[in-house]
Chain A
Amino acid sequence: MRMRTIAILLFLAGAAAGQLGVPRIGCFVDDQRRLRPLSGVAANFLVGAPEAEEAISAACSCGLVLIKKDGSLEVRDRGGSVEWPAPAGPALFGFSPNGSAALVYYPETKELFRVGRNAPALLPPPEGEVVAVGSPEGPTAVVRLNGELWIIGADVRPAPPDAAEPLLLLPDGGLLYARGKELVLAGTDGSERSFKLPAAAAGMDWLGHGWVRVRLLEASGHLALALENRNELYRLPEVAP
Chain B
Amino acid sequence: MTARLAAALLLAPCSLLAQLELYVVQGGAESRVIDNYSIGAVAIGDSVDTAFRLRNPGTSAVELDTLSAAGAGFSLVNAPHLPVSVSAGAPLDFTVRFQPVAAGGHSAYLQVNGGSVLLLATGLAPPAVLLDNVALAPGSAVDFGSIQSGSSASRTLVLKNQNTDPVLVSQLAVGGTGFRGPIGISAPLTLASQQSVEFDVVWEPQAAGAAEGLLTVNHATYRLLGTATEPPLPKPQIVIEPQAPSSGQQVRLSIRLAEPSPASGSGELRMEFVGPSDPGAGFLAPPGLSATFTVQRGEDMARFGASTEITFQTGTTAGTIIFTALLGAHTDQASLQLAAMPVMIDSASAVRGTGSLEVTVNGFDNSRTAGPLVFTFLDRSDQVLVPIRVDGAAAFAQHFQTANAGGLFALRAVFPVTGNASVVDSVDVELVNAVGTVRRNVKMTE
Residues of A whose CB lies within 8 Å of any CB of B are 2, 5-13, 15-24, 39-47, 198, 218, 221, 234-240
Contact = CB atoms under 8 A, between A and B. Distances in A.
A47 B390 CA distance: 32
Contacts of A6: 385-386
B313 A44 contact: yes
A18 B285 contact: no
A143 B288 CA distance: 41
A42 to B, nearest CB: 6
A20 B420 CA distance: 28
Contacts of A16: 388, 390, 413-416
Contacts of A239: 287
A7 B282 CA distance: 53
Given A221-B284, A240-B288, A8 B419 contact: yes
B392 interface: yes
Interface string B183-218: 000000000000000000000000000000000000
B249 A11 contact: no
A42 B346 CA distance: 7
B395 A20 contact: yes
Contact of B412 (A2, A21, A41, A45): A21
Contact of A23 (B315, B408, B414, B415): B408
Given A11-B377, A12-B418, A41 B408 contact: yes
Interface string B382-416: 01011010101001101100010110111111111
Contact of A43 (B306, B313, B386): B313
A10 B314 CA distance: 43
Contacts of A43: 248-250, 313
Contacts of B75: none
B412 A9 contact: no
Nearest to B389: A13
Interface string B315-345: 1100000000000000000000000000010
A111 B383 CA distance: 52
A47 B417 CA distance: 37
18 contacts: A5-B379, A10-B417, A11-B386, A11-B416, A12-B417, A12-B418, A18-B411, A18-B412, A19-B413, A21-B410, A22-B405, A23-B409, A41-B346, A44-B247, A237-B284, A237-B285, A238-B286, A240-B286
Contacts of A22: 403, 405, 408-410
Contacts of B363: 23, 41
A2 B384 CA distance: 9
Q: For the side of the interface on B, what is the size category?
A: 35 or more
Nearest to A98: B445
Contacts of A12: 415-418
A110 B365 CA distance: 48
Nearest to B384: A2
Interface of B: 247-250, 279-280, 282, 284-288, 306-307, 311, 313-316, 344, 346-347, 362-364, 377, 379, 383, 385-386, 388, 390, 392, 395-396, 398-399, 403, 405-406, 408-421, 423-424
Contacts of B413: 16-19
A9 B364 contact: no
B316 A44 contact: yes
Nearest to B305: A219
Contacts of B412: 18-21
B418 A10 contact: yes
Contacts of A11: 377, 386, 388, 415-417
Contacts of B385: 5-6, 9
Contacts of B390: 16, 18
Contact of A20 (B287, B306, B314, B409): B409
B406 A2 contact: no
A198 B416 CA distance: 48
B300 to A, nearest CB: 21
Contacts of B314: 44
A39 B408 contact: yes
A238 B362 contact: no
A13 B421 CA distance: 14
Nearest to A210: B347
B410 A20 contact: yes
Given A22-B409, A41-B346, 11 more contacts: A6-B385, A11-B416, A15-B416, A18-B390, A20-B411, A21-B403, A23-B410, A24-B410, A41-B344, A41-B362, A235-B311
